[in-house]
Amino acid sequence: MLIRGKCHCGNIEFRLDWRPEPTAIPARACSCAFCRKHSAVWTACPSGSLHVAVTDAALVSRYAFETKTAHFHVCARCGVVPLATSAIDGRVYAVVNVNSLEGVDPAMLARSPVTFDVESVADRLARRARHWIGDVRFLDAGGAAG
């Protein structure tokens, strides 16, 4: 299933190739202050691939807090946070915000609250390496991999 998403203004867009075809999409509402304040709800398909295209990189800020092991990609124009990335052992992993998905039936979203407050940094990175999207490519405005 090819899932498209973007920030409100379209400066940050992505295509998530979800394999195999999902019957439901897990949607995890993190309890941290950042995710609560942004109403972010995250999903990932570890066997899928993610292509991210940014029209104007100058309008994207990357925000990291606490352990600084994840970067939230925030569009400075519209304020939406469509994805977060984490660099683990030289590889980029990502999750996408279900609130930025386009054309996905909301009934497919299996929402659940989660908290990661008690995780050690090592446990957090190991969980991300297992459950986040591991095939992540950032494309330039023309669509070429960068």
3-state secondary structure of 121: helix
Half-sphere exposure in the Cβ direction for 10 (13 Å, CA): 1
Whether the pLDDT of residue 33 is over 60: the answer is yes
Q: pLDDT tens digits for 89-142?
A: 999 999 999 999 999 999 999 999 888 888 899 999 999 999 999 999 998 655
* DSSP3 helix / strand / coil % (the chain, rounded to 5): 20, 40, 40
**What mean pLDDT comes out for the span 16-23?**
95
Instruction: For the chain, give every domain's residue range.
Output: 2-139
- Dist CA 17 CA 5 (whole Å): 11
pLDDT of res. 10: 97
Quick check: pTM over 0.75?
yes
Average pLDDT taken over every residue of the chain: 93
Note the Cα 37 to chain centre separation in Å: 16
In this prediction, residue 119 carries a pLDDT of 87
Question: What class does CATH assign to 2-139?
Answer: mainly beta
